Structure 1
Amino acid sequence: MQVLNFYSRIFADQLKRGRKTATIRLGDKSHKYRKNQLVLVTIGYQYSPRERIFEAVIDQVEVKRVKELSPRDIEHDNPEFRRHEEMIHFLEQIYGRAVTMEDEVTVVRFSQIVDSPSEFTDRKLGIGGAQN
């Protein structure tokens, strides 16, 4: 099984709450990730223990330039960001190099696999449970 790993612990909560549903990776990663592929989402650093977050299915893999990222693309990667400048700064921190609007990125959208989709959906939509 392919692993979709995140280095920063700040993403653990966003992933678990369903707020982070995509990752933007520098370069063309379309050879690595494919639509409908099953992946294990983890958090941790290389050569260190990693935390299993959940299994997911890849919904979409799209290669584009940074300047072509929509605010929605950026928000799905990091719910705190909307602007290209924020995304560029973040990518520069992760990859340790300058990133421009012309750089190629891969947007990988994914969905968590849950045991009971209706319960998960109901909970996310705030329905079910106690009635008013």
Structure 2
Amino acid sequence: MRVLNFYSSAFADQLRRGRKTATIRLGDKSHKYRKNDCVVVTIGYQHSPREKIFNAVIDQVEVKRVRDLSPREIEHDNPEFRRVDEMVHFLERIYDRAVTLDDTVTVVRFSQIIENPPELRDRLHGLGGANN
């Protein structure tokens, strides 16, 4: 199983609340993450303890230029942003280097795996008003 790690603990709350459902990574990461992969979403720094936030499934992996990022993709990565220039500035802080509109990024969309959610369990067992 792969790990989808975030370095900033500021993301922990966004992840737990379902507000962060994507990550935009600099470079082509399509070899690392693939649709339908199961990953462990963690927070922490390399060579340090990491906190498991949840298991997730990769829904979509798309490689594109920074200039081609949509406001929706940016918002799924960081609910505070909508514009490409905000994303560029954010990526520059994370990667500690200049980022241009021509740089390649990988948009990784993911969904939390919820263990035994009641509404799904009830549906599978014919409860909750379903007519079988």
Post-superposition offset of 1:118: 5.2
Post-superposition offset of 1:119: 4.7
How many correspondences in the alignment? Answer: 120
| Matched residue, 1:8 | 8
| Matched residue, 1:47 | 47
| Matched residue, 1:130 | none
TM-score with structure 1 length normalisation? 0.88
Q: Which runs of 4+ in 1 moved over 2 A?
A: 116-120
2:66 & 2:117 partners in 1: Cα distance? 33
| Matched residue, 2:82 | 82
1:104 & 1:10 partners in 2: Cα distance? 25
Identity %: 78
1:31 & 1:87 partners in 2: Cα distance? 23
Post-superposition offset of 1:117: 3.8
Post-superposition offset of 1:88: 0.4
| Matched residue, 1:114 | 114
| Matched residue, 1:103 | 103
Post-superposition CA distance 1:49-88 (Å, at most 9, x none): 1000000000000000000000000000000000111100
Question: Aligned pair in 2 of structure 1 residues 108, 66: CA closer, same or farther (>3 Å)?
Answer: same
1:28 & 1:73 partners in 2: Cα distance? 16
RMSD: 1.2
SS at match of 1:107: strand
Post-superposition offset of 1:115: 1.4
TM-score with structure 2 length normalisation? 0.88
What one-letter code is carried by the residue in structure 2 that aligns with 1:96?
Answer: D
| Unmatched segments (≥5 aa) in structure 2 | 121-132
| Matched residue, 1:29 | 29
Give the greater-gyration-radius structure (CA).
2
